[in-house]
Amino acid sequence: MSELATRQSETLVSARLKGLKTSNIKIVDSALVPGSPFSPNKKRNMIMAVILGLFVGAGLAFFVDYLDNTVKGPEEVEKLVGLPSLGVIPALSSNNSNSNYNYTYYSQQYAEENPESSNGHEEIKEIELINHFYPKLHICEDYRTVRTSILFSHAGNAPETIVFTSAFPQEGKTSTITNTAISFGQLEKKVLLIDGDLRKPRLHKVFEARNRIGLSSCLIGISSIENAIQETSVENLWLLPSGLHPPNPAELINSQKMVEVLEDVKKDFDVVFIDAPPVLAVIDPVVLASLVDAVVFVLKEGKTSRKPLVKAVAELNKAQANIIGVVFNEVKMKKKGYNSPYYKDYMYSYEPYEKAIKYEYRDDDEYSD
């Protein structure tokens, strides 16, 4: 009943209102046509997109840099392990990802001497011997810079026996030691390259030499040093290959016979370079480092991480090795800021250089022709 009464009351009220000619509703303001759409607000959205893009991009860059723990440059190496830089070797671009020997390198002088070449790019098939076949390329001057740094690393006489090693394999150690040895040979000094990697030797492949007789043969006493040393096609450069793989390479390296071999070759050669295995792979380079005058550490950009570098240097320091510095290998010059027009276009005067090079490594204080 109450529901019916309520509906009846509403009906009576509606009927009475229909009879009224006035209303309590009035217009306060007239509606206006908007000058722009309420949504979307393009200006606000653009500002928000720019701000968000900057913050996200910067944050992503910092995050990627945080994940990349590789050593970035010589300055970082000096901060981490306190070793100076002996030189920076630029990276060469590879034409074939499946080959280790097809490279191209831009040389303005090569472009001028060979106008038929494409944009002055020269194909380099043997990176390990680039300082021998292409001595006028700018990268060869970088190897000569490494040579000069080694010569000036000692206050007195320059080191006579030098080990080249790295933290990991494939950091360009073999190419660095061969080209540096060639640069020493350009000083008209007798240079000996010893392949101290008795597990995975490579120097005999670089120089296309036989490897049946070598360092291992001398260490086990089946061959003399004179019979094992081979003359290479590079002037003033000789090679002592590794020899056949022995079952106990670490024991042979860490023997009195190895000390005697080094003493014997020092009598006949002015500089002796030893290509050693990576420090974090086997114990051999640590033992070799304790037997020589100096150690050169090779780093490859984008490969060597900070912790392995610190660990490898610590292992060498335990053996009281004389680490004279680091060669930073395969550096992207544009990325590191070395590819300025002055660096790229600077032309060396090679004729005076070849004449003056005879006096760089000398025993006397006086210059003489």
**pLDDT (tens digit, 9 = 90+) per residue, 55-64?**
888 888 777 7
Of 232, 164, 151, the C-alpha closest to 197 is 164
Asked if residue 33 is part of any domain, the answer here is: no
- Give the range of the structural domain holding residue 284, as residue numbers without chain letter: 71-91+137-343
- Across the range 53-77, mean pLDDT stands at 78
From the list 333, 336, 291, the residue with the least C-alpha distance to 165 is 291
- Comparing C-alpha atoms, which of 81, 94, 136 is closest to residue 325? 81
The b/e string for 128-163 (b: 16+ C-beta within 10 A; e otherwise) is: bbbbbebbebbbbbbbbbbbebbbebeeeebbbbbb
Q: Is the pLDDT of residue 107 over 80?
A: no
**Is 11 contained in some domain?**
no
Task: Quote the pLDDT of residue 68.
Answer: 67
The answer as to whether 159 is a domain residue is yes
Cβ-Cβ contacts under 8 Å for 342 (sequence gap 6 or more):
none
Of the candidates 38, 260, 240, 273, the residue with the CA atom closest to the CA atom of residue 164: 273
State mean pLDDT over 227-241. Answer: 94
- The pLDDT value recorded for residue 8 is 66
Does a structural domain hold residue 29? no
Q: Cβ contacts of residue 313 below 8 Å, gap of 6+? A: 81, 83, 297, 323
Average pLDDT on 297-326 reads 90
The number of folded domains in the chain is 1
In a domain, 260, yes or no: yes
Task: Determine if residue 4 is left, alpha or beta; phi over 0 gives left, psi from -120 to 50 gives alpha, anything else beta.
Answer: alpha
Q: According to the model, what pLDDT value does residue 312 have?
A: 93
> Quick one: what percent of the chain has pLDDT higher than 90?
44
- Please, what's the b/e burial string for 32-50 (b: 16 or more CB within 10 A of its CB; e: otherwise)? eeeeeeeeeeeeeeeeeee
In a domain, 57, yes or no: no
Instruction: Please state, in angstroms and rounded to a whole number, the distance separating the CA atoms of residues 255 and 159.
Output: 22
The pTM (predicted TM-score) of the whole model is: 0.70
Q: What is the pLDDT of residue 294?
A: 94
At 166, the pLDDT band (50, 70, 90 cuts) reads very high
- The answer to whether residue 65 sits within a structural domain is no
Residue 222 DSSP one-character state: S
- Is residue 174 in a domain? yes
Q: What CATH number should be reported for the domain holding residue 295?
A: 3.40.50.300
Instruction: Identify the bridge partners of residue 102 per DSSP, sorted by sequence position.
Output: none
Q: Is 125 exposed, middle or buried (0-12, 13-18, 19+ CB in 10 A)?
A: exposed
Once rounded to an integer, what is the mean pLDDT over residues 66-81?
81
**Alpha-carbon separation of residue 287 from 83, 172, 267 (angstroms):** 20, 21, 22
